[in-house]
Amino acid sequence: MKPKTFEEFESTLEENTPPKEWSESLKSLWFDAKGDWESSHDIAQDIHSSMGSWIHAYLHRKEGDKWNAGYWYRQAGKPFPQFSLEEELKVLVEANL
């Protein structure tokens, strides 16, 4: 079942895998929240939408690759965030609920 709040999303992080019925975007964010950047990135780069570009941008920002992140934020039509990565993760999750 898809979470309704960020807190419900966080409560699923105790599991070993994200729920199968979740969107690819939400699964990608779940892996990132679990500390698995590679799995998150593998999913995000195959999401060919503005949301996929936004997640991809966030991941490269987290990685410290500002240039690459900037490219993906532009692809997503989003400004480069002026807030924390933690806040951006929450915003991204909430945008996918």
pLDDT digits 0-9 by tens, 23-44: 999 999 999 999 999 999 999 9
Contacts of residue 8, defined as CB under 8 A and 6 or more positions apart, other chains included, come to none
On the 0-12 / 13-18 / 19+ scale of CB atoms within 10 A, 73 is buried
**pLDDT tens for residues 78-90?**
999 999 999 999 9
Residue 1 above 90 pLDDT? Answer: no
Q: How far does Cα 73 stand from its chain's mean position? A: 13
Q: Is 14 helix (H, G, I), strand (E, B) or coil?
A: helix
Sequence spans of domains, the chain:
6-15+23-95
> What's the rounded Cα separation, in Å, for the pair 85 and 79?
14
pLDDT above 90: residue 67: yes
